[in-house]
């Protein structure tokens, strides 16, 4: 980060740290626990934050105004999606599943798992937007992937398809992912969604 500040570079890094518990028997361990750190990973994360703060405070000349000193922090965990079995194997595309998201998982958990699955970098920009009709959507990597996690309307589907049709002329789109819970009990809406994005030649996945 300091070198990027000096020369305007765009270097990136990944840090992997096991959540090793702090040893309460050592002097440094006692001090770390007293400061609110429970694992080595907690210390590692705070060191990155403090390094960024120091770079900001010492760069009085603002040599690199576009310097990115942010980072994302992830923990390994089981999938956000609960495996399920289709109730109608003859027409699986019309199955309306119960909410298959694990309790306590947020939109952020879901979209980052989908980014990994679809091979988008975890550093990609994520932006929440409101589509016509009030549907909330997450646009990742400036629209390469769009994820809809809650309420859905036919108006929103048409608007999103039109937006992505214009975008795909310049971008390699991963497509649209819609959670099954968005369709509630509207089997016709799920069928319409597949038809709308098929006509627009936009990949659609429902999970």
| Average pLDDT for 104-131 | 93
Q: How many CB atoms lie within 10 A of CB 197?
A: 21
CA distance 21 to 33: 10
pLDDT band at 8 (very low <50, low <70, confident <90, very high): confident
| Beta-bridge partners for 21 | 39
pLDDT band at 170 (very low <50, low <70, confident <90, very high): confident
**Which helix (H) or strand (E) element contains residue 58?**
helix 40-58
CA distance 1 to 20: 25
What distance separates the 2 farthest-apart alpha carbons in the chain?
66
CB 163 within 8 A of CB 132: no
Q: 145 is written with which tokens?
A: 């992937």
Q: What is the pLDDT of residue 89?
A: 57
Report pLDDT digits (tens) over 81-117: 988 666 655 555 555 556 788 999 999 999 999 999 9
Give residues with Cβ within 8 angstroms of 38, minimum separation 6.
21, 22
Q: What is the pLDDT of residue 63?
A: 62
User: Pick from 184, 169, 187: which is nearest to 200 by CA?
Assistant: 169
Q: Is the pTM of this model over 0.85?
A: no
- Residue 29, pLDDT > 70, answer yes
Q: Locate tokens 């690199």: which residue?
A: 64
Q: What is the pLDDT of residue 111?
A: 95
CA distance 63 to 8: 8
- Residue 5, pLDDT > 60, answer yes
């Amino acid at each position: 980060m300091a070198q990027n500040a000096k020369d305007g570079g765009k270097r990136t890094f990944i840090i992997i740290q096991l959540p090793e518990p702090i040893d309460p028997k050592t002097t440094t361990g006692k001090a770390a626990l007293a400061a609110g750190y429970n694992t080595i990973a907690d210390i590692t994360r705070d060191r990155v934050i403090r390094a960024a703060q120091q770079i900001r405070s010492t760069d009085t000349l603002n040599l690199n105004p576009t310097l990115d000193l942010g980072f994302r922090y992830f923990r390994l965990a089981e999938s956000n999606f609960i495996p399920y079995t289709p109730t109608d194997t003859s027409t699986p595309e019309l199955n309306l599943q119960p909410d298959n998201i694990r309790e306590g998982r947020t939109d952020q958990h879901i979209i980052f798992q989908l980014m990994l699955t679809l091979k988008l970098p975890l550093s990609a920009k994520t932006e929440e937007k409101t589509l016509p009709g009030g549907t909330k959507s997450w646009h990742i990597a400036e629209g390469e992937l769009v994820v809809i996690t809650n309420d859905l309307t036919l108006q929103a589907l048409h608007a999103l398809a039109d937006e992505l049709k214009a975008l795909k002329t310049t971008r390699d789109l991963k497509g649209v992912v819609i959670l099954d819970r968005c369709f509630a009990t509207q089997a016709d809406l799920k069928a319409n969604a597949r038809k709308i994005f098929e006509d627009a030649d936009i990949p659609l996945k429902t999970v």
